[in-house]
Amino acid sequence: MLETFCIGILKKLDYGLVHCQALVLAPTMELVLQIKEVMQDLGRFHGVKIHACVGGTSVPKEDRQRFLKVGGVHIIVGTPRCVYDMLQRGRTRLDCIKMFVMDEVDQMLSLGFKDKIDEIFKLLPCKIQVGVISATMPPEALEITRKFMKKPVTIQAKPDELTLEGIKQFYVDVEKEEWKLETLCDIFELTVKAKSITHCIVFVDTRCKVDWLTDKMQSRDHKVSVIQSDMDQNTRDIIVREFFSQSGSPHVLITTDPLVCGTDVHKVSLIVNYDLPAAPENYLYRIGRRSGQFGRCVAINFMTKDEATMIIDIQKFYNMVIEELPYNFDELL
């Protein structure tokens, strides 16, 4: 889906006009950088100029402002808060913007960006093409389409027919964020003793935490593979192949990407949500399996006090019960 809307934007650009013509919003810095990379790869022969508008960038603020005002860009990709701040300060021309695309709207809404999206839209030209991309369409997302779009065309991708059937699901009440690491290591010690877990995926919510957790796990001699959101597809495929080709003691793959393993996910016997997903809809994409795939799998969800509400929301959304991890967990493996 990402490549689809990127190609659509690139085809409608006037490359002779070096002013922002397309504005793309994404919920996280990781996704912003991934979109920028895809667009640069697809539009490199056209000389497309893209600016990533995110917080925490290493480029000095005055240099970013000079780039937007003087050098010019065709596309700006950013998170809602950063884009709103840039537009409000007049750092780029608005009259040339003809496309406004919002990627992963469901996640942006779950992160509380609804008001910022409204404010950004108010600053944009009246005649503008709006695109809304979302893995799920909760009522809030449908409200955005009604509010910002005129006679929209709906395109629905065929569902992957994922299911939670046959997956044993548990939660662990860790109370505090800093207790998660020791809890994860305790679980891995049990898997080593059980000798029935060979591949485990650990989901976290940010790229920084991927790096941090990888360092911590490797320092304890765990075999760890990593997939970051800014990796190209070829690199991802190589890492996944190497991950599943390994045997022996448990191998861990740490990532933020819920679709990381594709059709090979049935080979994973343990999935750990180190951080719970931002929306209940995304839970299925992390631990679900395609209909007809078999194999024993256990999913463990770490829950702090702040995440207790999400566990309740997930159970309501899927009409199921997630039980607390029993003390004899190793007997389930």
pLDDT tens sequence across 153-183: 877 665 556 778 878 899 999 988 999 999 9
| 99 within some domain | yes
Which of 48-62, 70-84, 189-203, 318-332 has the weakest average pLDDT? 48-62
Instruction: Please give the pLDDT value at position 171.
Output: 94
What does the pLDDT read at residue 67?
47
Residue 261: the pLDDT is 56
Q: Give the residue-averaged pLDDT of 252-270.
A: 71
Based on the fold, state whether residues 17 and 98 are members of the same structural domain: yes
- Per-residue model confidence (pLDDT) at position 116: 92
Of 123, 148, 173, the residue that ends a domain is 148
Segments forming the whole domain that contains residue 85 = 2-148
CB atoms under 10 Å from CB of 22, counted, come to 28
CATH of the domain at 245: 3.40.50.300
156 found inside a domain? no
pLDDT in tens, 60-119: 455 455 445 534 899 999 999 999 998 988 888 899 999 999 998 887 887 788 899 999
pLDDT at res. 196: 64
Does residue 173 sit in the same domain as residue 82?
A: no
The answer to whether residues 234 and 300 belong to one domain is yes
Is 145 exposed, middle or buried, given 0-12, 13-18 or 19+ CB atoms closer than 10 A? Answer: middle
DSSP state of 95: T
Q: What is the largest CA-CA distance in the chain?
A: 66
Using the 3D structure, point to which of 94, 114, 148 is the last residue of a domain. Answer: 148
Q: Domain boundary residue among 89, 123, 148?
A: 148
Q: What is the pLDDT of residue 165?
A: 80
- How many CB atoms within 10 Å of residue 152? 12
Q: Give yes or no: residues 138 and 181 share one domain.
A: no
Least confident of 91-105, 198-212, 213-227, 277-291: 277-291
Question: Are residues 121 and 225 both part of a single domain?
Answer: no
* Residue with more model confidence, 262 or 5: 5
Average pLDDT over residues 38-55: 90
Based on the fold, state whether residues 130 and 10 are members of the same structural domain: yes
Q: How far apart are CA 195 and CA 234, in angstroms?
A: 32
Please indicate, yes or no, if residue 276 is contained in any of the structural domains: yes
**Cβ partners under 8 Å of residue 43, min gap 6:** 10, 13, 50
Closest CA to 86 of 68, 98, 70: 68
What is the mean pLDDT of the segment spanning 246-274?
Answer: 74
Residue 31 lies in a domain: yes
Q: What percent of the chain stands above pLDDT 70?
A: 80
The predicted pLDDT at position 105 comes to 86
Task: Tell whether 220 and 107 lie within a shared domain.
Answer: no
Please count the structural domains in the chain: 2
Q: For residues 310 and 158, which has the higher predicted lDDT (pLDDT)?
A: 310
Give domain status of residue 153, yes or no: no
Q: Is residue 157 in a domain?
A: no
Q: Which residue has the higher pLDDT, 173 or 240?
A: 173
In a domain, 15, yes or no: yes
Do 128 and 189 sit in the same domain of this protein?
A: no
With respect to residue 72, please indicate whether it lies within any of the assigned structural domains: yes
247 vs 244, more confident: 244
Q: What is residue 51's predicted lDDT score, i.e. its pLDDT?
A: 93
What's the pLDDT band for 292 if we cut at 50, 70, 90?
very low
Q: What is the mean pLDDT of residues 143-152?
A: 81
The number of beta carbons lying within 10 Å of the beta carbon of residue 162 is 16
pLDDT, position 54: 84
Q: Is residue 139 located within the same domain as residue 230?
A: no
Give the pLDDT score at 9: 95
CA 101 to chain centre: 17
**What is the per-residue pLDDT for 199?**
81
**Which tops the pLDDT comparison, 243 or 198?**
243
Question: In terms of domains, do 309 and 168 share one?
Answer: yes
Task: Kindly state the average pLDDT of the residues 123-128.
Answer: 90
Same domain, 234 and 324: yes
List, in sequence order, every residue forming a beta bridge with 199; answer none if it has no partner: 251
- Could you tell me the pLDDT band of residue 290, with boundaries at 50, 70 and 90? low
Residue 181 and residue 71 share a domain: no
Burial of 16 (0-12, 13-18, 19+ CB in 10 A): exposed
Which is it for strands 129-132 and 199-203: parallel, antiparallel or unpaired?
Answer: unpaired
Give the pLDDT confidence score for residue 60 in this predicted structure. 47
127 burial type by CB count under 10 A (0-12 exposed, 13-18 middle, 19+ buried): exposed
